[in-house]
Amino acid sequence: MSMEQQPNPILLSFPDQFQTERLTIRAPQWGDGAAVNEAIRESANELRPWLPFARNLPTAEESEIRSRQARLKFLDRSDMMLYIFDTVSGEFVASSGLHRIDWDARRFEIGYWLRTSWTGKGIITEAVHGITDFAIQHLNANRVEIRCDSRNTRSAKVAERAGFTLEGILRNVEYDEEGSMVHQMVFAKVRGIEF
Protein backbone atom coordinates (compact mmCIF):
# COMPACT_ATOMS: atom_id res chain seq x y z
CA MET A 1 0.00 0.00 0.00
CA SER A 2 1.54 3.31 -1.03
CA MET A 3 1.31 6.44 1.02
CA GLU A 4 0.38 9.71 -0.65
CA GLN A 5 3.23 12.24 -0.49
CA GLN A 6 2.36 14.89 2.09
CA PRO A 7 3.28 18.54 1.45
CA ASN A 8 5.82 20.18 3.70
CA PRO A 9 3.72 21.36 6.69
CA ILE A 10 5.10 24.91 6.41
CA LEU A 11 3.15 25.20 3.15
CA LEU A 12 -0.19 24.46 4.83
CA SER A 13 -2.53 27.40 5.27
CA PHE A 14 -5.17 27.41 7.99
CA PRO A 15 -6.55 29.94 10.49
CA ASP A 16 -4.45 30.84 13.52
CA GLN A 17 -7.58 31.80 15.48
CA PHE A 18 -11.11 30.45 15.93
CA GLN A 19 -13.98 30.75 18.37
CA THR A 20 -16.26 28.47 20.34
CA GLU A 21 -19.41 29.55 22.17
CA ARG A 22 -17.53 31.42 24.93
CA LEU A 23 -13.87 31.25 23.92
CA THR A 24 -11.39 32.76 21.51
CA ILE A 25 -8.65 30.24 20.79
CA ARG A 26 -5.55 31.43 18.96
CA ALA A 27 -1.86 31.00 18.33
CA PRO A 28 0.45 32.87 20.71
CA GLN A 29 1.41 36.42 19.82
CA TRP A 30 4.17 38.78 20.83
CA GLY A 31 3.16 40.30 24.18
CA ASP A 32 1.19 37.32 25.54
CA GLY A 33 3.86 36.37 28.08
CA ALA A 34 2.69 38.65 30.90
CA ALA A 35 -0.88 37.29 30.90
CA VAL A 36 0.35 33.69 30.69
CA ASN A 37 2.82 34.29 33.52
CA GLU A 38 0.10 35.77 35.74
CA ALA A 39 -2.09 32.69 35.14
CA ILE A 40 0.79 30.27 35.85
CA ARG A 41 1.57 32.05 39.12
CA GLU A 42 -2.11 32.04 40.15
CA SER A 43 -2.43 28.33 39.32
CA ALA A 44 0.97 26.96 40.34
CA ASN A 45 -0.27 24.81 43.23
CA GLU A 46 -2.79 23.00 41.01
CA LEU A 47 -0.42 22.69 38.03
CA ARG A 48 2.75 21.67 39.88
CA PRO A 49 1.99 17.92 40.22
CA TRP A 50 1.35 17.55 36.48
CA LEU A 51 3.41 20.15 34.61
CA PRO A 52 7.18 20.60 34.95
CA PHE A 53 7.10 24.32 34.02
CA ALA A 54 5.01 25.10 37.13
CA ARG A 55 7.58 23.57 39.51
CA ASN A 56 10.05 26.43 39.02
CA LEU A 57 7.93 29.48 38.36
CA PRO A 58 9.05 31.37 35.27
CA THR A 59 9.67 35.10 35.26
CA ALA A 60 7.44 37.30 33.08
CA GLU A 61 10.35 37.59 30.64
CA GLU A 62 10.73 33.80 30.48
CA SER A 63 7.01 33.45 29.76
CA GLU A 64 7.30 36.03 26.99
CA ILE A 65 10.25 34.14 25.48
CA ARG A 66 8.29 30.88 25.66
CA SER A 67 5.26 32.53 24.01
CA ARG A 68 7.41 33.94 21.21
CA GLN A 69 9.07 30.56 20.66
CA ALA A 70 5.61 28.97 20.57
CA ARG A 71 4.53 31.51 17.94
CA LEU A 72 7.50 30.58 15.76
CA LYS A 73 6.79 26.86 16.13
CA PHE A 74 3.15 27.47 15.19
CA LEU A 75 4.31 29.26 12.04
CA ASP A 76 6.68 26.46 11.02
CA ARG A 77 4.02 23.89 12.04
CA SER A 78 6.37 21.92 14.32
CA ASP A 79 4.11 22.46 17.37
CA MET A 80 0.84 24.33 17.72
CA MET A 81 0.42 26.00 21.10
CA LEU A 82 -3.01 27.62 21.42
CA TYR A 83 -3.95 30.25 24.00
CA ILE A 84 -7.52 30.42 25.23
CA PHE A 85 -9.27 33.67 26.11
CA ASP A 86 -12.72 34.44 27.45
CA THR A 87 -14.28 36.21 24.46
CA VAL A 88 -16.33 38.66 26.54
CA SER A 89 -13.64 39.85 28.98
CA GLY A 90 -10.56 39.10 26.86
CA GLU A 91 -8.94 37.44 29.89
CA PHE A 92 -6.38 34.67 29.34
CA VAL A 93 -8.02 31.57 30.88
CA ALA A 94 -6.11 28.52 29.64
CA SER A 95 -3.39 27.11 27.45
CA SER A 96 -3.80 24.19 25.10
CA GLY A 97 -2.63 23.17 21.69
CA LEU A 98 -1.80 20.38 19.31
CA HIS A 99 1.49 18.71 20.13
CA ARG A 100 3.65 15.70 19.17
CA ILE A 101 2.45 16.21 15.62
CA ASP A 102 2.90 13.56 12.94
CA TRP A 103 1.95 15.32 9.72
CA ASP A 104 2.28 12.16 7.58
CA ALA A 105 -0.22 10.25 9.72
CA ARG A 106 -2.13 13.45 10.61
CA ARG A 107 -1.87 12.57 14.30
CA PHE A 108 -2.10 15.24 17.00
CA GLU A 109 -2.09 15.30 20.79
CA ILE A 110 -4.12 17.87 22.72
CA GLY A 111 -2.57 19.15 25.93
CA TYR A 112 -4.17 21.66 28.29
CA TRP A 113 -4.02 23.50 31.56
CA LEU A 114 -6.58 25.84 33.08
CA ARG A 115 -6.24 28.97 35.16
CA THR A 116 -7.41 28.18 38.72
CA SER A 117 -9.95 31.03 38.89
CA TRP A 118 -11.73 29.58 35.83
CA THR A 119 -12.13 25.98 37.00
CA GLY A 120 -15.57 24.36 37.22
CA LYS A 121 -17.02 26.25 34.25
CA GLY A 122 -16.49 23.68 31.49
CA ILE A 123 -13.85 25.85 29.82
CA ILE A 124 -11.39 23.08 28.97
CA THR A 125 -14.07 20.68 27.75
CA GLU A 126 -15.40 23.41 25.44
CA ALA A 127 -11.87 24.19 24.26
CA VAL A 128 -11.09 20.50 23.60
CA HIS A 129 -14.25 20.20 21.49
CA GLY A 130 -13.23 23.30 19.53
CA ILE A 131 -9.61 22.23 19.06
CA THR A 132 -10.67 18.74 17.99
CA ASP A 133 -13.07 20.21 15.43
CA PHE A 134 -10.29 22.53 14.22
CA ALA A 135 -7.92 19.54 13.79
CA ILE A 136 -10.55 17.57 11.87
CA GLN A 137 -11.76 20.40 9.62
CA HIS A 138 -8.54 22.35 8.96
CA LEU A 139 -5.76 19.80 9.52
CA ASN A 140 -7.47 16.68 8.16
CA ALA A 141 -6.72 14.81 11.40
CA ASN A 142 -6.89 11.02 11.39
CA ARG A 143 -6.20 10.71 15.11
CA VAL A 144 -6.43 13.13 18.03
CA GLU A 145 -5.06 12.02 21.40
CA ILE A 146 -5.20 13.20 24.99
CA ARG A 147 -2.63 11.74 27.37
CA CYS A 148 -2.54 12.31 31.11
CA ASP A 149 -1.04 10.95 34.30
CA SER A 150 -3.34 8.17 35.53
CA ARG A 151 -3.67 10.01 38.87
CA ASN A 152 -4.91 13.20 37.18
CA THR A 153 -8.61 12.41 37.40
CA ARG A 154 -9.73 15.93 36.43
CA SER A 155 -7.81 15.77 33.16
CA ALA A 156 -9.15 12.28 32.43
CA LYS A 157 -12.72 13.48 33.02
CA VAL A 158 -12.22 16.24 30.42
CA ALA A 159 -11.19 13.62 27.86
CA GLU A 160 -14.23 11.49 28.71
CA ARG A 161 -16.65 14.45 28.60
CA ALA A 162 -15.22 15.44 25.20
CA GLY A 163 -16.04 11.99 23.83
CA PHE A 164 -12.52 10.53 23.72
CA THR A 165 -12.11 6.76 24.16
CA LEU A 166 -9.67 5.39 26.73
CA GLU A 167 -7.46 3.10 24.65
CA GLY A 168 -5.16 1.99 27.41
CA ILE A 169 -2.80 2.83 30.23
CA LEU A 170 0.93 2.94 29.56
CA ARG A 171 2.64 1.72 32.71
CA ASN A 172 5.84 3.21 34.18
CA VAL A 173 6.17 5.92 31.51
CA GLU A 174 8.21 8.46 33.50
CA TYR A 175 9.18 9.65 36.96
CA ASP A 176 7.16 12.27 38.80
CA GLU A 177 8.79 15.03 40.87
CA GLU A 178 9.03 12.71 43.91
CA GLY A 179 10.85 10.05 41.89
CA SER A 180 7.94 7.60 41.61
CA MET A 181 7.11 5.92 38.32
CA VAL A 182 3.80 7.06 36.87
CA HIS A 183 1.32 5.56 34.46
CA GLN A 184 -0.16 7.46 31.53
CA MET A 185 -3.73 7.17 30.25
CA VAL A 186 -4.15 7.38 26.48
CA PHE A 187 -7.47 8.65 25.12
CA ALA A 188 -8.18 9.13 21.42
CA LYS A 189 -10.68 10.00 18.74
CA VAL A 190 -10.01 8.49 15.33
CA ARG A 191 -11.37 9.04 11.85
CA GLY A 192 -14.02 6.52 10.89
CA ILE A 193 -15.02 5.75 14.47
CA GLU A 194 -15.53 8.90 16.60
CA PHE A 195 -15.60 11.30 13.63
CATH of residue 59? 3.40.630.30
CB of 108 closer than 8 Å to CB of 145: yes
Q: What is the pLDDT of residues 165-174, one digit of tens each?
A: 999 999 999 8
CB of 113 closer than 8 Å to CB of 158: no
Q: What is the pLDDT of residues 42-78, one digit of tens each?
A: 998 888 777 777 778 899 999 999 999 999 999 999 9
- Asked if residue 100 is part of any domain, the answer here is yes
Find the domain containing 56 and state its range.
Answer: 12-143
E strand or H helix at 167, and its extent? strand 165-175
| Class of residue 122 by CB neighbours under 10 A (exposed 0-12, middle 13-18, buried 19+) | middle
Whole-angstrom Cα Rg for the chain: 17
Average pLDDT over residues 110-132: 96
Domains: count for the chain? 1
Q: Is the pLDDT of residue 2 over 50?
A: no
E strand or H helix at 85, and its extent? strand 80-86
What pLDDT does residue 1 have?
39
CB of 148 closer than 8 Å to CB of 75: no
Residue type, 183: H
What pLDDT does residue 3 have?
59
**Where is pLDDT greater, at 180 or 168?**
168
What pLDDT does residue 56 have?
82
- Asked if residue 70 is part of any domain, the answer here is yes
- Asked if residue 122 is part of any domain, the answer here is yes
- Asked if residue 193 is part of any domain, the answer here is no
What pLDDT does residue 55 have?
77
E strand or H helix at 24, and its extent? strand 23-26
- Asked if residue 154 is part of any domain, the answer here is no
- Asked if residue 124 is part of any domain, the answer here is yes
Q: What is the pLDDT of residues 69-83, one digit of tens each?
A: 999 999 999 999 999
Residue type, 148: C
Average pLDDT over residues 157-163: 97
- Asked if residue 25 is part of any domain, the answer here is yes
What pLDDT does residue 4 have?
63
What pLDDT does residue 49 have?
75
- Asked if residue 45 is part of any domain, the answer here is yes
Q: Rounded CA gap, 171 and 68, in Å?
A: 35
